[in-house]
Amino acid sequence: MLHNQTYKVSAVRIEDHDDLATGFRCALRQLPGLLPQVLPQQVIIKPNLCDITAWETGVTTDPRWIGVLAGELRAIRPDVKLRVVESDAISAYKTYRSCDETFNRLGFLSAAHEAGVELVNLSTCDAIEIRLDGIPQAVRIPQLLFEEMHFISIANLKLHGYTRMTGILKNSIGLLTDAEISSLHPYLSILISRLHKLCCPDLCIIDGRIGLDGGGPILGRPLRMDTILVGNDALAVDETACRLMGIPSKEVGHLEQTARDLERKLGRVEVVGDIRPRLFCFDAAQVHSSIQSKFGNRRLHQRMEIFSNRWIDRGFQFRYDPLGFAKRAISKLARSRRGR
Partner 1 sequence: MVDRLRLAVVGGGEVLERYHIPAINAVPEVVRSVVVDVNAERARRIADRYGFPISSVDLGDVVRHADIAVVLVPNGLHAPISCELLAQGIHVLCEKPMARSSEECLSMIDASRLGNAKLCIGHNRRFQQHMRLAKQILSKGLIGKIVKVQAEEGSPNDWPRSAAYFDPIMSGGGALLDVGIHSIDLIRWFVDEFQAVEYEGNGTDKTSESEARMRFDLTNGATGSLTVSRSRNLAQKLTLIGSDGFLEVGLWSATLALRCVKGKAFQNLDRLEIAVARRPPSDGSFAEQLRNLVSAINGEEDVLVNGHVGMAAVEVVRRAYLGRSQGALHRNAESK
Helices (H), the chain: 20-30, 64-76, 99-105, 108-115, 168-171, 188-198, 234-245, 253-261, 289-296, 298-320, 322-337
- Of 193 and 240, which has the nearer Cβ to partner 1? 193
Nearest to 67, CA basis, from 107, 37, 11? 107
- Which region among 2-10, 31-39, 198-206, 310-318 touches partner 1 (by CB under 8 A)? 198-206
210 phi/psi in degrees, rounded to 5: -125, 120
333 binds partner 1 (CB under 8 A): no
When binding is defined by CB under 8 A, the residue of 200, 242, 244, 247 that contacts partner 1 is 200
304 binds partner 1 (CB under 8 A): no
Residues in the chain, how many?
Answer: 340
- Of 76 and 262, which has the nearer Cβ to partner 1? 262
Q: Say if residues 83 and 145 touch (Cβ distance below 8 Å).
A: no
Q: Say if residues 169 and 235 touch (Cβ distance below 8 Å).
A: yes
- Which region among 1-9, 144-152, 181-189, 239-247 touches partner 1 (by CB under 8 A)? 144-152
CB atoms within 10 A of CB 130: 13
CB of 199 to partner 1, least distance (A): 6
Q: Say if residues 208 and 225 touch (Cβ distance below 8 Å).
A: yes
CB of 196 to partner 1, least distance (A): 9
CB of 135 to partner 1, least distance (A): 11
- Which region among 140-148, 252-260, 268-276, 317-325 touches partner 1 (by CB under 8 A)? 140-148
- Which region among 21-29, 98-106, 123-131, 160-168 touches partner 1 (by CB under 8 A)? 123-131
When binding is defined by CB under 8 A, the residue of 120, 141, 203, 252 that contacts partner 1 is 141
37 binds partner 1 (CB under 8 A): no
- Of 60 and 193, which has the nearer Cβ to partner 1? 193
- Of 152 and 159, which has the nearer Cβ to partner 1? 152
Angle between helices 64-76 and 20-30 (to 10 degrees): 50
135 binds partner 1 (CB under 8 A): no
In order of 47, 166, 235, the CA distances from 206 in angstroms are: 10, 10, 12
38 binds partner 1 (CB under 8 A): no
In order of 54, 70, 248, 313, the CA distances from 334 in angstroms are: 38, 42, 49, 21
Q: Say if residues 35 and 203 touch (Cβ distance below 8 Å).
A: yes
The residue ranges that bind partner 1 (CB under 8 A) are 40, 44, 126, 128-131, 138, 141, 143, 145-149, 151, 197-200, 335-340
